[in-house]
């Protein structure tokens, strides 16, 4: 999705005019025309609205508001359950009254870009801030000629496990997925469960495929190439189908009440999660403090060091924003200013996208919960090994929905996991074509 070469240039100016026409056609707002907003006059006091759901984000916003009396940011918390925040943002774009800024995950940036909802930030000088952030995370929001969002955090994946129970049962930390299967058997023999395979958790499945070397999306020329049903993803699907069919893992949804209960009680003893999971576990299973450790993701081959990312989000500026320069300034400050990053870390966001402004020790916020382990090191190492060529495509939310539906059906006895992949591949291609995009199977 990066510009493929000097010969190909996206015609942002021309297409913005087309967007203006389209909006006039459906009676939309006048803000979205082809003209660049005039921006703020010197000394003018403005207020920007910001939709986010990140815990503790009130604090950096309050800090900004204290330091910038002329540009006040009004934070509105939105629900992040089942993607409700994105429904709200898409609806607001359609209705012509989106907020100025929004919290958007990497996975969902393309669908907002396709919706023509985000401001192309290079027009406002975003490029000069690129060096403040981890390169590949910045690149996740680059489409055509511009970046569309400022990265906030990432979620290197790792394995959270109950050290005390693994030790008591004499089970080693699994280094490979083969070890993991053996560990699953051993945990089951003790009456526990190593994990749950959640049919509706498309994010994690994507992460596991990512680790195995899959590339679900690529942009070649003017065509989206979709490869959900590729060899690495099949390997992941086969692997988990085996665990599910042998009843070595539960099949409840993770991060729901029943799962929290199992984690609290020790019925489920590990979780294939991501760096932001520390706050989640510590907050929801406080009684298990000190018993957890973090290990790197098991590898497909012994000695490999393949890792993946789950989650992480950005601060994006909506196209309808009247003061994009100020909104961009806030977005950059929020995600790179040392004071702000410190507050975000305390609140429990993911792994900072900012390259500097914090120390390694700052990240060990919940060291006590992990028995004193410097657990962030594990995630840092994983983050460095993440295959950064992975790209998200349009309509990932719909892809997750198809994936969830198909896995739901497969768990209910309707077909194999391989059929799930074939089906989702077919549906995703159809979706993209339905959206008027050129798409082909990879």
Partner 1 sequence: MSGPFRRPTRAELRNARAASGFLLPFLALFVLCFLAPIGYAVYQSLLRTERAGPLGIGGVTEAFAGLENYRQALQDSGFLAGFGRVLLFGVVQIPLMILLATALALLLDAASARWVGFFRTAFFLPYGVPGVIASILWGFLYVPGISPFVEMAGSVGWDVDFLSDGTVLWSIANIVTWQYTGYNMLVLIAQLKSVPSELYEAARIDGAGAWQIALRVKLPLIRPALVLTTVFSLIGTLQLFAEPMVLRPLSNAIDSGFTPNLHAYNEAFTGNNQHAAAAEAVLLALVACVLSFGFLRLVGRRGGEDR
User: Contact positions toward partner 1, by CB under 8 A?
Assistant: 1, 8, 10-12, 14-16, 18-19, 21-22, 25-26, 81-83, 86-87, 90-91, 94, 111, 113-116, 143-144, 199-200, 219, 221-224, 251-253, 256-258, 261-262, 265, 267, 394-395, 397-398, 401, 404-405, 408-409, 411-413, 431, 434-438
Residues in the chain: 442
Instruction: Name the minimum Å distance from CB 74 to partner 1.
Output: 24
Residue 47 has phi, psi (to 5 degrees) of -130, 130
Any idea what DSSP says for residue 286?
G
Instruction: Name the minimum Å distance from CB 138 to partner 1.
Output: 17
Quote the distance between the C-alpha of residue 155 and its chain's center: 7
Instruction: Name the minimum Å distance from CB 17 to partner 1.
Output: 8
Instruction: Name the minimum Å distance from CB 412 to partner 1.
Output: 4
Q: With respect to partner 1, which residue has the nearer C-beta, 271 or 333?
A: 271
Pick the closest to residue 263 from 180, 197, 310, 194 (CA basis).
194
Q: With respect to partner 1, which residue has the nearer C-beta, 143 or 177?
A: 143
292 — alpha (psi -120 to 50), left (phi > 0) or beta?
Answer: beta
89 — alpha (psi -120 to 50), left (phi > 0) or beta?
Answer: alpha
Question: CA–CA separation, 18 vs 263, rounded Å?
Answer: 52
Question: CA–CA separation, 353 vs 140, rounded Å?
Answer: 12
Instruction: Name the minimum Å distance from CB 221 to partner 1.
Output: 7
Instruction: Name the minimum Å distance from CB 7 to partner 1.
Output: 12
Q: With respect to partner 1, which residue has the nearer C-beta, 12 or 182?
A: 12
Quote the distance between the C-alpha of residue 226 and its chain's center: 19
73 — alpha (psi -120 to 50), left (phi > 0) or beta?
Answer: beta
Instruction: Name the minimum Å distance from CB 72 to partner 1.
Output: 30
Question: CA–CA separation, 182 vs 77, rounded Å?
Answer: 43
Q: DSSP letter string over 228-240?
A: TT-HHHHHHHHHH
Element (H, E) at 244: helix 231-245
Q: With respect to partner 1, which residue has the nearer C-beta, 10 or 49?
A: 10
Q: With respect to partner 1, which residue has the nearer C-beta, 262 or 364?
A: 262
Q: With respect to partner 1, which residue has the nearer C-beta, 146 or 376?
A: 146
Q: With respect to partner 1, which residue has the nearer C-beta, 69 or 191?
A: 191
């Amino acid at each position: 999705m990066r510009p493929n070469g000097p010969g190909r240039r996206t015609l942002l100016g021309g297409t913005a005019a087309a967007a203006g026409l389209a909006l006039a056609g459906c009676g939309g707002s006048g803000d979205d025309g082809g003209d660049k907003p005039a921006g703020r006059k010197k000394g003018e006091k403005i207020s920007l609205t910001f939709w986010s759901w990140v815990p503790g984000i009130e604090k950096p916003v309050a800090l900004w508001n204290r330091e910038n009396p002329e540009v006040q940011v009004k934070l509105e918390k939105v629900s992040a359950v089942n993607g409700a925040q994105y429904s709200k943002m898409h609806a607001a774009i359609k209705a012509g009254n989106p907020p100025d800024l929004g919290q958007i995950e990497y996975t969902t940036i393309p669908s907002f870009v396709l919706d023509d909802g985000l401001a192309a930030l290079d027009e406002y000088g975003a490029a000069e801030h690129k060096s403040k952030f981890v390169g590949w995370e910045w690149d996740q929001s680059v489409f055509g000629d511009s970046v569309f969002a400022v990265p906030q955090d990432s979620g290197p994946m790792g394995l959270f496990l109950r050290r005390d129970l693994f030790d008591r049962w004499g089970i080693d930390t699994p280094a490979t997925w083969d070890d993991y299967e053996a560990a699953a058997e051993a945990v089951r023999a003790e009456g526990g469960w190593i994990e749950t395979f959640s049919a509706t958790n498309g994010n994690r499945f994507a992460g596991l495929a990512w680790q195995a070397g899959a590339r679900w999306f690529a942009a070649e020329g003017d065509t989206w190439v979709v490869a959900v049903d590729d060899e690495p993803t099949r390997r992941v699907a086969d692997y988990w189908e085996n665990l599910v069919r042998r009843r070595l893992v539960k099949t409840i949804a993770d991060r729901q009440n029943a799962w929290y209960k199992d984690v609290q009680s020790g019925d489920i003893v590990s979780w294939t999660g991501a760096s932001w999971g520390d706050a989640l576990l510590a907050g929801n299973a406080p009684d298990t403090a000190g018993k957890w450790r973090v290990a790197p993701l098991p590898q497909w081959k012994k000695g490999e060091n393949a890792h993946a990312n789950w989650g992480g989000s950005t601060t994006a500026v909506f196209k309808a924003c009247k003061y994009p320069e100020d909104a961009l300034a806030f977005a950059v400050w929020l995600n790179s200013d040392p004071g702000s990053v410190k507050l975000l870390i305390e609140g429990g966001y993911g792994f900072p996208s900012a390259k500097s402004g914090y120390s390694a020790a700052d990240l060990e916020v919940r060291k006590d919960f992990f028995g004193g382990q410097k657990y962030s090191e594990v995630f840092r190492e994983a983050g460095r090994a993440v295959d950064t060529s992975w790209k998200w495509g349009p309509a990932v939310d719909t892809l997750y929905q198809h994936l969830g539906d198909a896995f739901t059906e497969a768990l209910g006895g309707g077909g194999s996991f391989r059929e799930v992949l074939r089906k989702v591949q077919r549906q995703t291609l159809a979706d993209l074509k339905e959206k008027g995009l050129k798409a082909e199977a990879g």
